[in-house]
Structure 1
């Protein structure tokens, strides 16, 4: 199947699911959050970058499945500058949307089997826009593939997704605008989870995601790309017991991100140690 046809099929799947997404939610959770870390890194850029990240998130369930949407505003310090010799930090918006169809809900009966509570399919997109001194990413990506729901307290979804990714960067150093370039269609193994647990009387939650992404072929400059690993996990504590707020209104915690070969760049290549980041963060969320 040609790349044009596979892209068209992915778009058609997303459009077909729009009526399902529009249905009224059975349950929902909307929140704003803040996290901060001082050990971020960028490919072909600096290490030990400090970033403040403000996010808006929404998750909901409806008759046939669930929706997840999140948008981050990432604000860097001057180690990741917004323009050459600007003295100000880069800013980036990054949006993620996923719709997961639960085949048990569609069938109206349990499809549980062995360690799996159900089976389904996930579609969605990623999009970003970054203003920085070098690459100025304008990523666009469609995703689609099967999902299994694992029997755990809370949830654990594992998906194998095809990625249709493109970018159209603008290099402020060279003044070169790159036409939108599509990478090879490539797979991603994704896991997303939220698992409650307790340490004595303290109720906690282990949450996060893991992405193992295959090489996406040649980049827009003709160089090769590498498989990448992005693991982002957090331990969250609901402060309701000590504040008097309703349960799960305000949560705080610790987050850690490991990102190897970031965006497909080889962290072992000369001058590209920034393609490997190990970033501890503090995190807070207000749910309403």
Structure 2
């Protein structure tokens, strides 16, 4: 594992970005199906650890999901733009900017072996692997997260999809303080598990759908400053309506809806400790997305 840590430590976001784009694109070349979208969501009650203020953020995202010969491929980039309640630096009147990348590939055991794996409500099983990476410019932490993930996935027999995974997380960070002008050497947390679910379920033939994800992330041990981390709960739910039929956009799709995020002990910071209320976000949002 030391080789993995050293390799990940050396990778900067400008390097990860073209790698992630290439990884997302390769399976899509032979895709059985694909869905690519751009979207925007906005809310005024975002929160950040150690910051007591409500923060307004506009988030622009690029999302790609596809099915290929052996499974499914998922790639997402969020560009998060904060107002000045989450400043870009010490004494700055500008808001912080963050880029967050997620890549997941799930290899479906049935597609590889040719033998169905079905029992009870489960219609399939697979192995998921991938990574998260981010960079943020803000007044305090300036996150440079790098995280590898891997573990088993069950696919449930529902309209649309519901996938549940148990993933091992290998996470590290190397923050920089604009107050002290000190960079923290890249620090690797304890390997820790995450129970995660992702879903997209149409509500009959109404044009509405229930979409989202939920993560339950165990403590990752001590943080880079020697503090205990807490179990993290992040639930992001959306009710979306497909306006395609109303605006004659078919076969393309334009969706509009309401999103709500419940995020307790954000990034492992204990909301009952020094991180305070900023580590417990309860954020309503308006969301719009266009699918090509």
Q: What is the TM-score of this pair, normalised by structure 2?
A: 0.91
Name the CA distance, whole Å, in 1 between partners of 2:5 and 2:29.
26
Structure 1: tracts of 5 or more residues without a match: 11-17
Query: Is 1:214 matched up with 2:218?
Result: yes
Q: Specify the SS of the correspondent of 1:222.
A: coil
1:137 aligns to 2:135 (yes or no): no
2:265 pairs with one of 243, 261, 266: 261
Instruction: Look up the match of 2:152.
Output: 146
Aligned equivalents of 2:252 and 2:29: distance in 1? 25
- The superposition leaves residues 23-71 of structure 1 with CA deviations (integer Å, 9 ceiling, x where unpaired) of 6111111110000000000001133100000000100000000000000
Corresponding residue to 1:241 among 232, 241, 245:
245
Change (3 A) 1:31 1:22: closer
Measure the CA separation in 2 of the matches of 1:83 and 1:253: 33
Provide the residue aligned with 1:232 in structure 2: 236
Match of 1:24 among 15, 26, 30: 30
For residue 190 of structure 1, what is the aligned residue in structure 2? 196
Q: Which residue does 1:15 correspond to in 2? A: none
Correspondence for 1:4: 2
Measure how far apart 1:245 and its partner are. Answer: 1.1
Instruction: Return closer, same or farther for 1:37/1:22 CA change in 2, 3 Å cut-off.
Output: closer
Q: CA deviation digits over 1:220-252, x for unaligned, max 9? A: 011110000000010110001211111451111
Question: Is the 1:21–1:99 Cα contact (8 Å) retained in structure 2?
Answer: no
Superposed displacement of residue 115, structure 1: 1.0
SS in 2 for 1:51: strand
Alignment check: 8 A CA contact 2:269 2:275 kept? no
Partner residue of 1:47?
Answer: 53
Aligned to 1:47, the other structure's residue is in SS state strand
**How big is the alpha-carbon RMSD for the aligned residues of Structure 1 and Structure 2?**
2.1
User: Is 1:108 aligned to residue 120 of structure 2?
Assistant: no
- Runs of at least 4 residues off by over 6 Å: none
State the partner residue of 1:65: 71
For the 8 Å contact 2:28–2:66, the answer to whether it is kept is no
Q: Which residue of 1 aligns with 2:20?
A: none
Task: Quote how far apart the aligned CAs of 1:7 are.
Answer: 5.8
Q: 1:79 matched to which residue of 2?
A: 85
When residues 271 and 141 of structure 1 are mapped into structure 2, their CA distance, relative to the original with a 3 A threshold, is closer
Asked if residue 283 in structure 1 is aligned to residue 287 in structure 2, the reply is yes
Aligned mates of 2:252, 2:269 — CA distance in 1: 38
User: If the length of structure 1 is used for normalisation, what is the TM-score?
Assistant: 0.92
Gaps of 5+ in 2: 9-22
Distance 2:110 2:221 in 1: 37
**Partner SS state of residue 166, structure 1:** strand
1:21, distance to aligned residue in structure 2 (A) = 3.9
Matching residue of 1:13: none
User: SS state of the match for residue 271, structure 2?
Assistant: coil
Cα distance in 2, alignment partners of residues 4 and 23 from structure 1:
34
